[in-house]
Structure 1
């Protein structure tokens, strides 16, 4: 793969303000954008899936839950392979295969086949998030690490926003197949940018594939208290966040709101606030510490959940904004701690964090559907609040 000329020392770390830093952060930004757009483009489409295929609200969410569950489980394998094969090659394959599978989703009219393809998208994307985090932890100068990770999380945020906004608008124009095809095209365009701009790894040291070594690395990370806390936070906070966004579309489509898919999609512009909070949170760590920033983020999430339980649309919008700002601030800081607290096998540490992250999305995201169907919106908000409160208690050990 060809790259733009690089004039910096081939052994130097990527430092803020340099051309190499700008190329790398934009490439990583595009990778995060593509990944999250591919995963979450189905959220505004869940009511359309339920209507078109004649499935329940909880079952319609399987188009997201299966993706994130497969992503979580296969990420452990992908992270291990990347310790031997390298970062960039695996990430390129992940982006390319997921884009092709996303295009295939636009041409099926079988619920079972759609679920199979969405599960395979999760398998393909498992080779990207943990490796991107490991790449940032290895290649960026320590003084630039927080800002680089914040930009990567911002790409995740904007990817989630772009996926939801575009799919909602395209669905109103041409149905869910047009929405799925449009997002897949965006992903393939991001692949080209990523392949061209990302500098090759300079500090990656391959490890031979060894089952004993791989399981030993996982055990080492799980025995580290600070890492265990981060993994638990990832599960609880991401699961809570997704449980809200999975079913907010169903609630807002019903009286007293009665909003269209496009208008519901526009509400996801609150993700822009999450992009800002992710980058801002990284800069706050040096001043007040990682634990305090995460606790502030969790507090904002709880305020947002309270507002979301009300029947007034302006208050609901404020609640979505608070939930999003708080979640991405907490996630940006918690994920940034992985590279600092894992002293070796960083890709595997990142894969464990993201495994917990996406397991939370799949498990709590689906469980939220049962609460929504059988007990209503307020019960769902109560369940989400309990998860976030448990996360708040865990931060006291950090």
Structure 2
């Protein structure tokens, strides 16, 4: 462990918990959707508004991420993150005390705004505290911790929701614990940098079009491939004669607990690879999982397919997020992070539409998975020839490396 990594270990540990609150948006409410439909069955347009309680935060995250990233660079990642964690806890738990469907939807929209600040603020601080191998290591550990903590929270939701479905929203208040930790442990490493760029012309903080296209070309197929299984798994099982929701939950839980962390750990094993090799490996793993789902004839094969596909997704996220921070010039990691989450999350929303269009051509969900897997494998080859992806994943020679002296100085003063 390097001296820089050792010095910033407390900050790295706090940041491990930051991505969890993005996952909590849908995870905590999914098990009580049925109860919400029963509660608001008599409300006008309830069949539209109740599902929006689930999806509205993610849509707001996508749309607000660029703004949150811009603010994180302007006023500081810690300020944005700490405020967003507190705001998240308050608006997330607010539906406990709200009886109207429209009131709940209002607070769910605000939750998405908080999520945008949390994810971009966390990435800005990760870029500032760590570089090279240390940065990739902490991003990998975040993606190992995320599904494991998520599984534990799903268990907690099952217990809490048995008392009263509204009590489930109280679990969003867990962010206030991390809010306190972040307020005391994190520090603002780029105060001088933020001040020096405060009056920079807009042209100085724009992402080059070629970079935007490259990141979009990674984010869109990566997101579509990652979310294809949650969207289509139940339909494939139904075609096989299996209609139990418990089986869907079991298969996805195995992918969540074993697949995603394995992919994140794999990123550490191949850390000296080029970004292009890591991304191709991730895409091929996801493609293999999709193809296996398309031809699976047993539950065991489907479980293996889901684990392999989710492992590819875990690897893809570690490599892609490391790439985003690697490409960002100093003082612009928030802007780049915000753009990434905008494209990645919007592609997530498009996944059901893309797969439904493929269903029309293929005739079944299984055939769609097989076809989509072949397409993902075929298009991943272009990554090998993208010049910006030719550097090592743990290279410290990125545009942020020049800020390390400022970070270390701020850290020393903090301690």
The interval holding the TM-score normalised by the smaller chain is: 0.7 to 0.9
**1:179 aligned partner:** 168
Q: 1:182-240 CA deviation, whole Å, 9 max, x = no partner?
A: 3x133333333333332442576115555x834542243x333xx63233222322233
Report which of the two structures shows the higher radius of gyration computed on alpha carbons.
2
TM-score, L = length of structure 2 = 0.76
Aligned-partner Cα distance in 2 for 1:104–1:337: 37
Aligned-partner Cα distance in 2 for 1:57–1:298: 36
Q: 1:224-281 CA deviation, whole Å, 9 max, x = no partner?
A: 3xx6323322232223323432454677699843445698268424323312321430
**2:88 aligned partner:** 98
**CA contact under 8 A between 1:297 and 1:329: conserved in structure 2?**
yes
**CA contact under 8 A between 2:31 and 2:158: conserved in structure 1?**
yes
**2:404 aligned partner:** none
Q: Are residue 359 (structure 1) and residue 346 (structure 2) matched?
A: yes
**1:5 aligned partner:** none
* Structure 1 residues 1-398: aligned runs within 5 Å: 15-16=4-5, 18=6, 20-45=7-32, 62-108=52-98, 110-168=100-158, 170-171=160-161, 173-174=162-163, 176-182=165-171, 184-201=172-189, 205-207=193-195, 208-209=197-198, 213-214=201-202, 216-220=204-208, 222-224=209-211, 228-246=213-231, 248=233, 256-259=241-244, 264=249, 267-273=252-258, 274-286=260-272, 288-309=273-294, 310=296, 312-344=298-330, 345-365=332-352, 377-378=365-366, 381=369, 384-385=372-373, 388-389=376-377, 392-398=380-386
Aligned-partner Cα distance in 2 for 1:295–1:57: 40
Give the length in aligned residue pairs. 377
Distance 1:218 1:35, change over 3 A: same
**CA contact under 8 A between 2:282 and 2:316: conserved in structure 1?**
yes
Higher alpha-carbon deviation: 317-326 or 227-236: 227-236
1:282 Cα deviation (Å)?
A: 3.7
**2:389 aligned partner:** none
Q: 1:297-345 CA deviation, whole Å, 9 max, x = no partner?
A: 1111112112334353222222221111001101101110122222231
Find the residue that maps to 2:4 and give its secondary structure: coil
TM-score, L = length of structure 1 = 0.79
After superposition, the CA RMSD in angstroms is: 3.7
**Structure 2 runs not aligned, ≥5 long:** 387-415
Find the residue that maps to 1:257 and give its secondary structure: coil
1:146 Cα deviation (Å)?
A: 1.4
**CA contact under 8 A between 2:81 and 2:117: conserved in structure 1?**
yes
Q: 1:88-126 CA deviation, whole Å, 9 max, x = no partner?
A: 111011111122222123455655444433222111111
**Structure 1 runs not aligned, ≥5 long:** 1-12
**CA contact under 8 A between 1:29 and 1:152: conserved in structure 2?**
yes
**CA contact under 8 A between 2:133 and 2:271: conserved in structure 1?**
no
Aligned-partner Cα distance in 2 for 1:319–1:57: 33
Aligned-partner Cα distance in 2 for 1:188–1:319: 37
Distance 1:300 1:266, change over 3 A: closer
Aligned-partner Cα distance in 2 for 1:387–1:188: 43
